[in-house]
C-alpha cells in the first residue's frame, strides 16, 4: 500500500537494517527497540490486521515462525525469544501491516 511504512521499506523507499529477505517476507531491526534484540518479521503482502488474514496469509505466518526458529544464531536469539503480534488499538498496533515482533538477546521481563 502506498502510505505503508513497511511496504515502503520493502520497496526501498525508506531505509532499514534488513537481516533476512525471501519471497514471503523480510526481517528488519525495529527502529525503537524494546529489548536488546528487537526485530520485526514482515510478510510481503500488505494485510492491515491479523484478524483479516486469509488461510494463505496464515500459512505465510507459520512459515515465518518456522524460519525464525531455524535462524536463531543469525538473529542473535539462541537463548530464547518472544514473538508478539499486536492487533488493533487496544493491542497497541501502530503500523497497519501485519508483523511479528521478535524480542530477545536478554532475559525478558514477565508481562
Ligand atoms: P506495532 O506497534 O505492533 O504496530 O509495531 C510497529 C513497530 O514498527 C514499532 O515497534 C516501531 O518501532 C516499528 N517501526 C516503525 N517505523 C519503523 C521503521 N521505519 N523502521 C523500523 N521499525 C519501525
Ligand atoms: Zn504494507
C-beta 32 within 6 A of ligand 1: yes
The Cα-based distances of 43 to 77, 99, 106, 108, 111 in angstroms read 20, 7, 26, 25, 26
- For 16-65, write each residue's pLDDT tens digit: 999 999 999 999 999 999 999 999 999 999 999 999 999 999 999 999 99
Range 10-18 average pLDDT: 97
The Cα-based distances of 66 to 11, 12, 46, 60 in angstroms read 25, 26, 20, 10
Q: Which residue stretches of 48-92 are H helix?
A: 55-70, 72-75
pLDDT at 1: 74
The Cα 55–Cα 79 span in angstroms is: 31
Residue nearest to atom 20 of ligand 1 (CA): 31
Residue 101 designated active-site = no
Averaged pLDDT score across all residues of the chain? 97
Q: What is the pTM of this model?
A: 0.97
C-beta 31 within 6 A of ligand 1: yes
Amino acid at each position: 500500500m502506498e502510505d505503508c511504512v513497511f511496504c515502503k521499506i520493502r520497496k526501498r523507499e525508506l531505509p532499514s537494517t534488513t537481516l533476512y529477505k525471501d519471497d514471503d517476507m523480510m526481517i528488519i531491526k525495529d527502529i525503537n527497540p524494546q529489548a536488546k534484540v528487537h526485530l520485526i518479521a514482515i510478510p510481503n503482502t500488505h494485510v492491515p490486521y491479523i484478524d483479516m488474514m486469509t488461510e494463505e496469509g496464515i500459512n505465510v505466518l507459520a512459515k515465518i515462525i518456522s524460519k525464525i526458529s531455524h535462524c536463531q544464531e543469525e538473529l542473535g536469539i539462541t537463548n530464547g525469544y518472544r514473538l508478539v503480534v499486536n492487533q488493533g488499538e487496544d493491542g497497541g498496533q501502530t503500523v497497519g501491516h501485519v508483523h511479528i515482533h521478535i524480542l530477545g538477546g536478554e532475559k525478558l521481563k514477565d508481562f
